[in-house]
Amino acid sequence: MSEAVAQAVAERFTRLYGAGPEGVWAAPGRVNLIGEHTDYNDGFVMPFALPHTAVAAVSRRTDGLLRLHSANIGDDAAGAGGVTELRVADLAPETDRGWTAYPAGVVWALREAGHEITGADIHLASTVPAGAGLSSSAALEVVVALALNDLYGLGLRGWQLARLCQRAENVYVGAPVGIMDQTAAACCEAGHALFLDTRDLSQRQIPFDLAAEGMRLLVVDTQVKHAHSEGEYGKRRAGCEKGAALLGVDALRDVPYDGLEAALERLGDDEEVRRLVRHVVTEDERVERVVSLLESGRTREIGPVLTEGHVSLRDDFRISCPELDLVVDTALAEGALGARMTGGGFGGSAIVLARAADVETLTKAVQEAFARAGFTAPRVFEAVPSAGARRLV
Ligand code: GLA
């Protein structure tokens, strides 16, 4: 499968730029199993990679030009042939609001970190749904970072590429995201979920094979679009930082679960901050609980923990929306083992853990509930833990 994709992307590159690429790379989107809005609090997360990927065909240039093309954006969207041409020396933060900011931001971040990138021709094609909370932007960033790392012989490790990509997104694009999505794209392994400590980026691959246990994980893309750079994400992040400052800790990760009640008391009547703190501290504990359940073979029991996570995101962190709640409520009413929103929130996708035998009924129930509510039909697919970023050709 990926060979055919790589070949098609390489052929398109050849038609665009007049010669074949030096290589073709892929980086996946992700779903987060548990650990939401904990990454910028130095906490724990547990994403796994989707089979959907951003694929990049890339060649180096020596004349300082960066040429970018995406198969996902109409060919005439960016002028002649759809190719955007930039000078690497001129790249500057927050000057670009389009998709090109992601690959260009990576080149900028690499150069900022002292790596001499003298230009590149890049053609991208992605199957990661955009705006669905499945990290389509991190996939774009990481695939470009990995390609340039290989071609320019930079010798950077996955977690280092993730840090550079996060910097590209924080500073160049201007979105205050954490480190989860880029690390997931760079470091996930097929058949595993990635248990990541976002403080020091230490990681453990946790075997996660639902099919072997008669279960499935469904992703329900509500088709409600979200945008992190626009406000609410940043407000939550600022609120968490305020909570940490009031409690005199570096990050909310430092508030122990068994010290939560005392911490909430110290926050007095700042209800907004109390709710944010309660979510983050309980969410870190939920990640640890899911890890120990999976490691002791009690996979089915993670369901209720996922659902608890949703309730916390809905009621304490307040980033759900009617469509996400409808997926969760309908799935649970139809016998799902657990369900929650995944990703940044305010739309995007939910995940549903279900017995294999219930998948069809559940899918139908969610689709019917959406139709009854007058919502846009959701996109439902099964998520199998897939490979992280890699070279295809
Ligand atoms: C987005 C961000 C991540 C993380 C999640 C919420 O996906 O990119 O860094 O904060 O939201 O868990």
CATH number, domain with residue 7: 3.30.230.10
Domain residues for the domain of 229 are 209-241+287-382
- Nearest residue (CA) to ligand 1, atom 1: 344
Q: What is the mean pLDDT of residues 192-196?
A: 98
Q: What is the mean pLDDT of residues 6-31?
A: 98
Rounded to an integer, what distance in angstroms lies between the CA atom of residue 286 and that of residue 280? 10
The answer, yes or no, to whether residue 229 has pLDDT greater than 60, is: no
- Please report the atom of ligand 1 found closest to the CA of residue 135: 7
Q: Is residue 278 part of a domain?
A: no
What pLDDT, on a 0 to 100 scale, did the predictor assign at position 80? Answer: 44
Looking at 121, 181, 284, 358, which residue is catalytic?
181
- Return mean pLDDT, the chain: 96
Q: Is residue 267 part of a domain?
A: no
**What pLDDT, in 10s, does the model give residues 133-153?**
999 999 999 999 999 999 999
The answer, yes or no, to whether residue 186 has pLDDT greater than 80, is: yes
Q: Is residue 359 part of a domain?
A: yes
Known catalytic residue at 181: yes
Q: Which residues contact 231 (CB under 8 A, 6 or more apart)?
A: none
For residues 39 and 9, state if they share a domain: yes
Q: Structural domain tally of the chain?
A: 2
For residues 155 and 45, state if they share a domain: yes
Pocket test for ligand 1, best of 167, 181, 199, 226 (most atoms within 8 A of CB): 181
For residues 224 and 194, state if they share a domain: no
Q: Domain holding 305: CATH number? A: 3.30.70.890
- Nearest residue (CA) to ligand 1, atom 5: 344
For residues 90 and 235, state if they share a domain: no
- Please report the atom of ligand 1 found closest to the CA of residue 133: 7
- Residue 77's pLDDT band, with cuts at 50, 70 and 90, is very low
The verdict on the CB of residue 31 being under 6 Å from ligand 1 is no
Cα–ligand 1 centroid distance for 83 (angstroms): 30
- Nearest residue (CA) to ligand 1, atom 8: 177
For residues 192 and 220, state if they share a domain: no
For residues 137 and 50, state if they share a domain: yes
- Residue 73's pLDDT band, with cuts at 50, 70 and 90, is confident
The answer, yes or no, to whether residue 311 has pLDDT greater than 50, is: yes
For residues 19 and 139, state if they share a domain: yes
Q: Is residue 353 part of a domain?
A: yes
Rounded to an integer, what distance in angstroms lies between the CA atom of residue 67 and that of residue 213? 47
Contact predicate 313/319, CB 8 Å: yes
- Please report the atom of ligand 1 found closest to the CA of residue 233: 11
- The 3-state secondary structure of 341-393 reads EECCCCCCEEEEEEEHHHHHHHHHHHHHHHHHHCCCCCEEEECCCECCCEECC
Q: Is residue 24 part of a domain?
A: yes
Beta bridge partners of 391: 25
The verdict on the CB of residue 42 being under 6 Å from ligand 1 is no
Q: Is residue 25 part of a domain?
A: yes
The verdict on the CB of residue 158 being under 6 Å from ligand 1 is no
Cα–ligand 1 centroid distance for 45 (angstroms): 10
Strand runs labelled E in the chain: 23-32, 44-45, 47-60, 65-70, 84-87, 120-126, 192-197, 202-207, 215-221, 338-342, 349-355, 379-382, 390-391
For residues 26 and 69, state if they share a domain: yes
Q: Is residue 273 part of a domain?
A: no
The verdict on the CB of residue 344 being under 6 Å from ligand 1 is yes
For residues 192 and 314, state if they share a domain: no
For residues 200 and 214, state if they share a domain: no
For residues 137 and 86, state if they share a domain: yes
What pLDDT, on a 0 to 100 scale, did the predictor assign at position 1? Answer: 64
More confident site: 80 or 91:
91
For residues 348 and 220, state if they share a domain: yes
The verdict on the CB of residue 345 being under 6 Å from ligand 1 is no
The verdict on the CB of residue 39 being under 6 Å from ligand 1 is yes
Q: Is residue 135 part of a domain?
A: yes
- Please report the atom of ligand 1 found closest to the CA of residue 179: 9
pTM over 0.85: yes
What pLDDT, on a 0 to 100 scale, did the predictor assign at position 264? Answer: 98
Cα–ligand 1 centroid distance for 110 (angstroms): 22
- Please report the atom of ligand 1 found closest to the CA of residue 39: 10
What pLDDT, on a 0 to 100 scale, did the predictor assign at position 225? Answer: 86
- Nearest residue (CA) to ligand 1, atom 3: 178
Query: Smallest Cα–Cα separation from 235: which of 345, 309, 136, 133?
Result: 345
